[in-house]
């Protein structure tokens, strides 16, 4: 083997934009194509918006205008505006920005001076315009390279900053902005900045009551056991109640940043609730009984926050500011004291809270014996059956191997043929398969006792390792893979009901997906097209000049393992399961409850669409 030489020629110096483009993940996390809420294109938008939000927090500008058209994003705020002499520098020179000066920006999210530079470097076109005191300056870039800049000119516009960018298609492949993802983020900004008006594509986002509005809009208020407790203090705001759902539902924020992975402040919030309840009622309740069914939100503002990742989704351990208490002690003390005081002043709320905790305590004790037997059956089943064809990669949270954790996925499917095809085609290193036996039990309206009594559901929760919460989740992506027919859709609906009913955090934290597989294969002797819709099929037939062999895949088992490798590899198409503008109980009641007139209408209208599709298929078949 020839010796590899290591000389001065091997040393490279990259400028700022080359480094960002070479290692974009270091700056914005994963890339993605826009099908997940934390994909890179949304991080780019967030980096721009954070600067506008920081202006509002500092008392400048009460409105932000956002427009997205043809993948081009424009954000205009009405803050102080970038100092005109530094318009180019702040978007193209690393470690340059006003937030290094704590006098100009306090308790801000974007403190690393990288955000706008990353957006600039990862955009095919980037434009920045600053307006201050009757003057304006504009600069244009391509892939981070300055292409044009104006001199300072007179302007009648209001002070502020305008940023326009188009994400680079070579970095973000086949990307598409999903408006519902953006709207969710904009509502978060509105809730955390009461009084700020955000306009986005002709929609307005405005909140008057902060986190109280957040919980009112994120939950089904009728299912709450007592009115939402809303308390504000200096640098902290909380809202909390108990519902009827399983698990806990939290929304946490630091300096306006949605910390989806929680962190020190969220742990302290939960700890403060537990201490307040125990001290108020003078009883050492089990932590799980107190925290089960909690719906809560917390927002804190910290000087120079320390996050555990570049995308700022988890707060580390730190102090509120110089010579100030730690975040943990500050939050615990605030929540414990304020919540205890509130309960003393509101006896009816205190009694309703106590009844909910006692209910959780009874349910926990009721299933204790059943749970022990179910766990024993699960351990035995995992040894002797082949329901779970596991993957070889097993990550260890203590080791912090996030890269391996992100790659793992499990396909939940039904039937030997479908399971067999996926098992043979999968990447055994990172992809696992769980085989269902027939249709799963309809768990709507059931208590968690049913999960332990039903073998299929019990084995599924053990295969995922989510019995005690998502901390032990063994697969980053849980993928429902069923046939695209009536039975397959029924199984899909029953699985969605199971997860939403008992493990809603799996959906809230973006781990649940639907596998999208082709409905048709259209081919001739030279080319093959896999089509996911009637429209794509027609286009494929046209591309092959009408002379093609057409196969309709009626089930996953009809797709050969060789072909399946095409659909669960690099080109995998996954539809994330998300909840928008509705609480989980509302969604379950609509789809799984009694046949209301609204649902009947929905089914009939969608049935017409399906029938029309089938009619189109018949016409095409006759034409062929």
Same domain for 424 and 329: no
Q: Which of 47, 161, 53 is nearest to 107 (CA)?
A: 53
Contacts 24+ apart (CB under 8 A), 504-507: 504/245, 504/246, 504/247, 504/249, 504/584, 505/247, 505/248, 505/249, 505/469, 505/470, 506/466, 506/470, 506/473, 506/478, 507/577, 507/578, 507/579, 507/584
Residue 102: per-residue pLDDT: 45
Contact 92, 113 (CB under 8 A): no
Domain membership of residue 10 (yes or no) is no
Lowest mean pLDDT among 187-196, 262-271, 307-316: 307-316
For 524-557, what is each residue's pLDDT tens digit? 989 999 998 888 999 999 999 888 899 988 778 7
Same domain for 322 and 394: no
Q: What 3-state class would DSSP assign to 624? A: coil
At residue 219, does pLDDT exceed 50? yes
Domain membership of residue 151 (yes or no) is yes
Domain membership of residue 6 (yes or no) is no
Same domain for 343 and 314: yes
Residue 113: per-residue pLDDT: 47
Taking the CB of residue 573, how many other CB atoms lie within 10 A of it?
15
Contact 349, 340 (CB under 8 A): no
Q: What are the residues whose beta carbons fall under 8 Å from the beta carbon of 391, sequence distance 6 or more?
A: 408, 410, 426, 427, 428, 429, 430, 431, 432
- Which CATH number belongs to the domain containing residue 400 in this structure? 3.40.50.670
- Which CATH number belongs to the domain containing residue 250 in this structure? 3.30.230.10
Could you say which of 305, 329, 359 is where a domain stops? 359
Q: What is the DSSP pairing of strand 197-200 with strand 203-205?
A: antiparallel
Same domain for 328 and 242: yes
At residue 600, does pLDDT exceed 70? no
Residue 599: per-residue pLDDT: 62
Residues forming beta bridges with residue 295, ordered by sequence position: 241, 249
Domain membership of residue 445 (yes or no) is yes
Domain membership of residue 615 (yes or no) is no
Domain membership of residue 619 (yes or no) is no
Same domain for 292 and 252: yes
At residue 184, does pLDDT exceed 50? yes
Domain membership of residue 7 (yes or no) is no
At residue 272, does pLDDT exceed 80? yes
Give the domain extent around 243: 220-359
Mean pLDDT over 369-375 rounds to: 80
Percent of the chain with pLDDT over 70: 82
DSSP code per residue over 289-351: HHHTTEEEEEEE--SS--BSSTT--SB-S-BSSTTS-BHHHHHHHHHHHHHHHHHHH-HHHHH
Q: Tokens standing for 52?
A: 């506008």
Same domain for 530 and 508: no
Q: What is the mean pLDDT of the chain?
A: 83
Same domain for 404 and 351: no
pLDDT-derived band of residue 403, with 50, 70 and 90 as boundaries?
A: low
- Which CATH number belongs to the domain containing residue 78 in this structure? 3.30.565.10
Domain membership of residue 284 (yes or no) is yes
Same domain for 453 and 377: yes
Q: Tokens standing for 206?
A: 């405005």
For 20-46, what is each residue's pLDDT tens digit? 888 887 888 788 888 878 888 999 999
Using alpha carbons only, give the angle 32, 35, 36 rounded to the nearest 5 degrees: 75
At residue 320, does pLDDT exceed 70? no
Percent of the chain with pLDDT over 90: 42
Taking CA atoms, 487 is separated from 414, 474, 558, 621, in Å, by 10, 28, 15, 25
The number of folded domains in the chain is: 4
Q: What 3-state class would DSSP assign to 151? A: coil
Distance separating alpha carbons of residues 264 and 271, to the nearest angstrom: 10
For 549-598, what is each residue's pLDDT tens digit? 999 887 787 888 888 888 898 888 888 887 765 567 777 776 777 656 66
Same domain for 36 and 146: yes
Same domain for 270 and 392: no
Same domain for 451 and 529: no
Contact 189, 49 (CB under 8 A): yes
Q: Which residue has the tokens 């102090």?
A: 319
Distance separating alpha carbons of residues 354 and 368, to the nearest angstrom: 21
pLDDT-derived band of residue 444, with 50, 70 and 90 as boundaries?
A: confident
Same domain for 496 and 387: yes
């Amino acid at each position: 083997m020839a010796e590899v030489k290591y000389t001065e020629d091997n040393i490279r110096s990259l400028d700022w934009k080359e480094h960002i483009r070479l290692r974009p993940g270091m700056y914005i996390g994963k890339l993605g194509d826009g099908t997940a809420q934390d994909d890179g294109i949304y991080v780019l938008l967030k980096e721009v918006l954070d600067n506008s939000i920081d202006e509002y927090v500092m008392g400048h500008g009460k409105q932000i205008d956002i427009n997205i058209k043809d993948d081009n994003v424009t954000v205009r705020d009405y803050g102080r505006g970038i100092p005109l002499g530094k318009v180019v520098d702040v978007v193209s020179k690393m470690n340059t920005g006003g937030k290094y000066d704590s006098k100009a920006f306090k308790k801000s999210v974007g403190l690393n001076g990288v955000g706008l530079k990353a957006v600039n470097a990862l955009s095919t076109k980037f434009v920045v315009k600053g307006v201050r005191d009757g003057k304006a300056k504009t600069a244009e870039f391509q892939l981070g390279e300055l292409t044009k800049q104006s001199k300072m000119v007179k302007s009648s516009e209001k002070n502020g900053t305008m940023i326009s960018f188009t994400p680079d298609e070579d970095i973000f492949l086949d990307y598409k902005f999903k408006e519902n993802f953006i709207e969710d983020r904009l509502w978060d900004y509105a809730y955390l900045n009461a009084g700020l008006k955000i306009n986005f594509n002709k929609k307005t986002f405005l909140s008057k009551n902060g986190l109280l509005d957040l919980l009112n809009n994120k939950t089904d208020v009728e299912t709450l056991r007592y009115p939402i407790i809303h308390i504000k203090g200096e640098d902290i705001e909380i809202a909390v109640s108990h519902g009827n759902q399983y698990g806990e539902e939290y929304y946490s924020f630091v300096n306006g940043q949605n910390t989806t992975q929680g962190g020190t402040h969220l742990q302290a919030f939960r700890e403060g609730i537990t201490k307040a309840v125990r001290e108020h009622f003078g009883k050492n309740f089990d932590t799980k009984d107190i925290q089960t069914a909690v719906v809560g939100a917390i927002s804190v503002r910290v000087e120079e926050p320390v996050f555990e990742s570049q995308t700022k989704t988890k707060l580390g351990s730190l102090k509120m500011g110089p010579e100030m208490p730690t975040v943990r002690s500050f939050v615990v003390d605030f929540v414990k004291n304020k919540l205890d005081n509130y309960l003393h002043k509101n006896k009816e709320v205190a009694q309703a809270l106590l009844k909910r905790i006692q209910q959780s305590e009874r349910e926990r004790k009721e299933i204790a014996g059943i749970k022990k037997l179910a766990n024993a059956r699960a351990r035995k089943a995992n040894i002797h059956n082949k329901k779970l064809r596991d993957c070889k990669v097993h990550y260890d949270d203590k080791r912090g191997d996030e890269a391996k954790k992100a790659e793992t996925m499990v396909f939940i499917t039904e039937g030997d043929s479908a399971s067999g095809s996926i098992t043979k085609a999968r990447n055994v290193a990172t992809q696992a398969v769980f085989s269902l036996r027939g249709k799963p039990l309809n768990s709507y309206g059931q208590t968690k006792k049913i999960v332990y009594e039903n073998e299929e559901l019990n084995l599924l929760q053990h295969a995922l390792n989510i019995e005690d919460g998502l901390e032990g989740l063994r697969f980053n992506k849980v993928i429902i893979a069923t046939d695209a027919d009536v039975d397959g859709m029924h199984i899909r609906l029953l699985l969605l009901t199971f997860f939403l009913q008992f493990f809603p955090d799996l959906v809230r934290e973006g781990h649940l997906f639907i596998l999208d597989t082709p409905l048709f294969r259209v081919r001739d002797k030279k080319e093959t097209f896999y089509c996911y819709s009637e429209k794509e099929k027609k286009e494929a037939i046209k591309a092959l000049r009408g002379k093609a062999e057409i196969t309709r895949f009626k089930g996953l088992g009809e797709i050969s393992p060789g072909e399946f490798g095409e659909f669960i590899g690099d080109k995998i198409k996954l539809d994330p399961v998300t909840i928008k503008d509705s609480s989980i109980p509302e969604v379950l009641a609509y789809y799984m409850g009694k046949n209301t007139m609204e649902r009947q209408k929905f089914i009939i209208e969608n049935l017409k669409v399906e029938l029309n599709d089938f009619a189109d298929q018949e016409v095409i078949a006759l034409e062929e």
